[in-house]
Structure formats: C-alpha cells, structure tokens
Chain A
Amino acid sequence: MKAVPLRSDAKPKVAGAASVMIEIDRVSQVFKTSTRRDHLALSDISLKIEDGAFVSILGPSGCGKSTLLYIVGGFVAPTSGTARMRGRPITGPGPDRGPVFQEFALFPWKNVLGNVMYGLLQQGAGREQAEAQSGELLKMVGLEGYENFYPKELSGGMKQRVALARTLAYRPEVLLMDEPFGSLDAHTRTRLQNDLLNIWERDRKTVLFVTHSVDEAVFLSDKVVMMTQTPGRIRQVIDIDLPRPRVRTDLLLDPRYQKCVVDIERMFDDVDSGGSQP
C-alpha cells in the first residue's frame, strides 16, 4: 500500500456536481422472529447518497435504520433489492466502507496502537509506516500517549475515539456510523460530535450516520433521512442548509437551526405515534 497523506485536500462542495457514492435501490428486509413469523423490517427503501455528503438516518428504535446501514456495509444481505457503491452491487464487507459501531467492537487483546494499526497491516502496510500513521491518527482523535493502553483501561468516549481512528486508518471511502455516540454520556457525546465534525471537515468523506437523536442529526448532517416506525420506510429526506464549518454554540442560537430541529422533532413525534405515511 502506498503512503497516502493523512489529510487529502478538502473537496470543494459544488451543488449538483457530486457523483453518487451509495445507491440503495428498492431494498426490503424480512426477518424471522423467534416465533417464526416474518417481520418486515425495511420496506422498499430507495436512497442515493452523494460523494462527500454527511447523511443521517433518523428514526425511532426498531425502525430498521441500523439494518439499512449493515446492508450498505455488506454485513447483512437484503431480502430483496440491491445496494450499490459507485455503481457496483455490494456483496460483502470491504475496506472501502468502514463501520463504527455503538458497541465500539475494539479488539480487546490488542492495545490502542495495535487496534488502530490492524487494518493498515491487513492492507499490507509495513509496520513502521503503520505505526507512524496510527500515531498521527491517535493525535487527531486526542489520544496521543495512550498507545499502550488496553481497551479495558479506557472510558467509553476514549474507546469510541480509538474505534474511529481504527476505521479511519484504512481509509474507507465511506464511513458507516451506527449510533456511535449512543452509549456515551451527554457531555462526552457533545465533545465527540464536535471532534467528528472537525475531522470530517478535513477530507469530507461520505458518511452514513444512524442516530435517533434529532439535534445530533441536524448538527452533523447535510441531509437527514427520516424513517417511519415498523416497517421502516423513508418518510422524508430533509436538506440541512446550515453553513459549515458548524460551531455548536453558534448553531444553538441560530433560528434556522432551531426551526430545523423543531420541524423534525414534530415529524418524529408524528412518526413515533404511528402517524400517517407520506
């Protein structure tokens, strides 16, 4: 593997010019329940995600939003329909799509450095190079000096920072984030949201971000995909036209941000109470 500079130049965002990175095409997912009945988790989802976009999938728990992410990751095969990446059907996991899970899923037998290096070494990078790149990533996520700590010695927020660095290390084109801050306390969550945005601003990777928090979705995203309760359908796709780079404290005072959050929250209440389909 060639040494790629850690921060590529941020792509200028030109409206309408971005190419489609991920295309979800009439995807449905049926699960067998424990009582052997069919449960329709996702129904006929079609969605296009542009290169470099930060897209959040927002919905009540159990609406299948994580399943949708797993289908894009290639971890779960859809019952019908296809997901494509750059036009090619997704048939399994690959290093072009890097997941970050709510459960961190770190390798507990590896220390922090070993975790971050894992993907790089797997991709054929030399040890020295992997160490150097991982060290830089750890600095970026604010964990310089923690190289030799084991996951059990870290707090939840630190674990998720390591998980993010581990995934960024092998340079996926798309980041798949599955409620990554869902298990963290409010203060830590806010800090990680800020840091994620700062990191994202550097190279504007495509991000698919699953969450059930309205303000998290609005704060981070270019687009929010609102889903309905079981079976999961897309209720509405909302463009978030707030200027970037975003500063949380500024946004909180910004009436446009407030309106966005309130609008989506009302829609969310509607969806949650089993509201009407569009």
Chain B
Amino acid sequence: MKPTGIWRVAPLLACLGLLVVWQAAALALRNDSFPTALDAIRAIPSILGDKESLINIMASLRRMVIGFALAVAISVPLGLMMGRSRAVAAFFNPLLMVIYPVPKAALMPIIMLWLGVGDVSKTLVIFLGVSLPVIYHSFEGARAVEEKMIWSGAAMGLSTVQRMFRIILPAALPEILTGCRTGLVLALITMVTSEMIARQSGAGNILFNALDMGQYDTVFAMIIIVGAMGICLDTAFERIRARLVRWSEPSFNMPLSFS
C-alpha cells in the first residue's frame, strides 16, 4: 500500500522535529562540544565542497560497495547450499556460530597486523560484517523452500544445479534480500568503524580527525552525512527489493473467489 497524504510527509516531519529538539537543546546547554543543528548543517557544504573530503568519502563508499558485493556473491550460494545439504550445513554451521557473535571490528587489530591499514583490511572487515546475516537468511530461505516445489522442477527435467539457481534461488529470494538489507546497513557500520580504527582515509577518518581538532560542527556534520548515506542506500535498496519480490508481498486484495 502506498502511503498517502499526511503519511507521506511523516518521515520528513519526524526529521524536522528531531532537528528542532536538537537546536533547542544545544541553545539551552550552550556547550562547545554540542553545536546547534544549524551550525552542523552549515558545515555540510564545506565538507562536500572540499576535494580531499570528497575523495575520502568516495573511497569509503568504494570499499563498502566492494565488500558488500563480494560478501553477497559468496554468502548467497553458501547459504543456499547449507540450506539444502545437511553435510554442507554440518560443516559450516559450527564455524559460523563461532564467528557470529564476535564483533567484526574487534578482528580489525589482527587483520591490520597481517594486511596493513589499507583498503584490503577495511574491505575484509566489511565483507565479514555483511557475510553473516546474508548467509543466515539465505540458509533459512533455502531451508524453507517447499520440497514439492523442487520435486516439480525435478520432474520437468531440471538438474540439481538448475534447481538451485532456477527454483531454490528465486523461491528464497525474499528471505535473501531481507538478509542483504541488514547486510547493507552493517556494511555502513563496519565501514565507519574500520576507518575509526585504521585511521588512514575515509568518512570515519574525517569524523575522528575533526574530533581531535575540536571541530565539533564538522563532527556532527559528518554524522549527518553518514546517516544520510545510510538512509539513501537503504531506501534505494528497499525500492529494488520491493520490485524484485512483488510476487511474494501479501496483497490486501481479496483472493478471487472462483474455484
């Protein structure tokens, strides 16, 4: 159902409300480390207008996209295979159960030690952060595929590999994309975290450099920028997702009454 009227502008109103509260609180507290909303917003153009900062932000995005894409490309087939083969699941499940609760950023020091502070380490952390939810949801999605749907395909002459790509993958797609959406947000989080630890370039680096130098308006401006990036990416992904799995969304139309 498409939101109409007041519900369309509701998110905007909520954002505006947040900014008003922020502005009022900052004015009331009058603290150097708490700039007003207007000050923070005023600092945004100077960050986005600065070539150096733009290069940094673009480098962050690039790592994030590469890490995310690699993770999806590997995790989806792995998760699907785990969901359909007891042997594959038995092999990988314990491994993933150990990795799952470990905050991926906590692995950063070791990874930095081995792979340096460059793109490879940061992309790897993003990759790890995205992988687990995508594997998990692909696994659950594949497991839930109705056996008889697969049999129907087998009776039509689909081979095991064809069944994986042409029946299990599309049937599990809604669940897979739910995992990818979680993964996308985690990619953003691990991106910033990795740059906070390996401070060499990126959006997280700008943020923490500004903090070191006491440029609090820049700090808050960067938080707004990163947040906006997250909202834009998530919205764009949600659009694509909704399009791909329209066939599975519950509709509010009554089913046709006809035998």
Does the CB pair A95–B155 fall under 8 Å? yes
Interface core residue of B151, B156, B245, B247 (most chain A CB under 10 Å): B156
Does the CB pair B251–A153 fall under 8 Å? yes
Does the CB pair A152–B259 fall under 8 Å? no
Give min CB distance, A156 to chain B, whole Å: 8
Known A153-B255, A154-B256, A188-B259: A109·B248 in contact at CB below 8 Å:
yes
Interface size in chain A (residues, C-beta < 8 A): 42
A132: CB under 8 A from chain B?
Answer: no
B152: CB under 8 A from chain A?
Answer: yes
Does the CB pair B157–A192 fall under 8 Å? no
Majority DSSP secondary structure for residues of A touching B = loop
Q: Which residue of chain A lies nearest to B167 when distances are taken between CB atoms in the complex?
A: A107
Does the CB pair A150–B247 fall under 8 Å? yes
Q: Which B residues touch A101, using CB under 8 A?
A: 148, 151-152
A-B pairs with lowest CB-CB distance, top 7: A157-B259, A188-B259, A105-B148, A93-B154, A119-B156, A101-B148, A105-B149
B109: CB under 8 A from chain A?
Answer: no
Roughly how many angstroms separate A15 CA and B158 CA in the complex, as a whole number? 37
Q: Which residue of chain A lies nearest to B253 when distances are taken between CB atoms in the complex?
A: A153
Can you offer 30 A-B residue contacts whose CB atoms are under 8 A? Answer: A73-B155, A93-B154, A94-B157, A95-B156, A98-B155, A99-B151, A101-B152, A103-B148, A105-B148, A107-B170, A108-B171, A108-B247, A109-B170, A109-B247, A111-B247, A122-B157, A122-B158, A123-B156, A149-B256, A152-B248, A153-B253, A153-B256, A155-B256, A155-B258, A157-B258, A157-B259, A166-B152, A170-B156, A184-B259, A185-B259
Q: Which residue of chain A lies nearest to B257 when distances are taken between CB atoms in the complex?
A: A155
Q: B155's contact among A97, A107, A150, A155, by CB below 8 Å, is which?
A: A97
Roughly how many angstroms separate A182 CA and B214 CA in the complex, as a whole number? 72
Give min CB distance, B176 to chain A, whole Å: 12
Q: Which B residues touch A108, using CB under 8 A?
A: 171, 247-248
A36: CB under 8 A from chain B?
Answer: no
Interface membership of chain A positions 84-113, coded 1 if the CB is closer than 8 angstroms to chain B and 0 otherwise: 000000001111011101010111111100
Give min CB distance, A153 to chain B, whole Å: 6
Roughly how many angstroms separate A191 CA and B256 CA in the complex, as a whole number? 17
A231: CB under 8 A from chain B?
Answer: no
Known A75-B154, A95-B155: A107·B149 in contact at CB below 8 Å:
yes
Q: Which B residues touch A93, using CB under 8 A?
A: 151, 154-155
Roughly how many angstroms separate A275 CA and B156 CA in the complex, as a whole number? 40
Interface membership of chain A positions 54-98, coded 1 if the CB is closer than 8 angstroms to chain B and 0 otherwise: 000000000000000000011100000000000000001111011
- The residues in B between 35 and 62 inclusive whose CB is less than 8 angstroms from any CB of A are none
Q: Which B residues touch A170, using CB under 8 A?
A: 156-157
A187: CB under 8 A from chain B?
Answer: yes
Roughly how many angstroms separate A95 CA and B152 CA in the complex, as a whole number? 10
Q: B173's contact among A109, A122, A191, by CB below 8 Å, is which?
A: A109
Interface membership of chain B positions 159-198, coded 1 if the CB is closer than 8 angstroms to chain A and 0 otherwise: 0000000010011010000000000000000000000000
